[in-house]
Amino acid sequence: MVNEKVSMKALITRKVGMTSIITDDGSMQPVTLLSASPNVVTQVKTVDTDGYQAVQLGFESGAKLGKSQAGHFGKSKATPKVVKEIRLEEASELELGAEISADVFVVGESVNVTGTSKGKGFAGGIKRHNFQRGRKTHGGRSYRRPGSIGSMYPQKIFKGKRMSGHMGNEQVTVKNLKIALVDTELNVIGVIGAVPGPRKSIVVVKGAK
């Protein structure tokens, strides 16, 4: 495995939880801690071979790989538990087996954070779309009902109609968060503010353009 450090503004991390830090002016800032163990480059995609430019990163170590996975990761000599693909605008100089660690980010840098939001199950229109509740006086009975959805005109329901349904468990990207701390010994990154997803969930951190 190639152990040289490669500069790439993208990293797969795992959410640890939230805490707070005290700044120089004495104010407190909420910080989300992300476990950022080194990522391994498991595949490099180019325009000539794949039609687009991207780098496939592996995170953590899997207990056991199947034959197809072992064959795919054989050249990089990695056994990742989580694999993500990062799109690139320019051709990459990364090689198979190269490691990307937490030190690619610096304190004060702006990043975009992508995660999967918490699933909240089936929810009504008021909770899911912030609809207004109906009146509770003078004979009103439609308290939390959605109301008309197109039974008269246009005699159909358009796609994308805001209604009750599955809430949460979607990919969410929060842009322009600031890096509060980078600990290369513990492999931890601190991001100011909230990050989507529950604890122990996978979070992708990318440098903001």
Q: Are 115 and 195 in contact (CB under 8 A)?
A: yes
Region 115-121: what's the mean pLDDT? Answer: 97
Predicted model pTM? 0.85
Look-up of token digits 């087996």: 97
Domain ranges for the chain, please list them.
10-119+172-207, 125-167
Highest mean pLDDT among 22-31, 92-101, 198-207: 198-207
Superfamily of domain 10-119+172-207: Translation factors (2.40.30.10)
Per-residue pLDDT tens for 142-163? 999 988 888 788 888 899 999 9
Cis peptide bond N-terminal to 154, omega within 30? yes
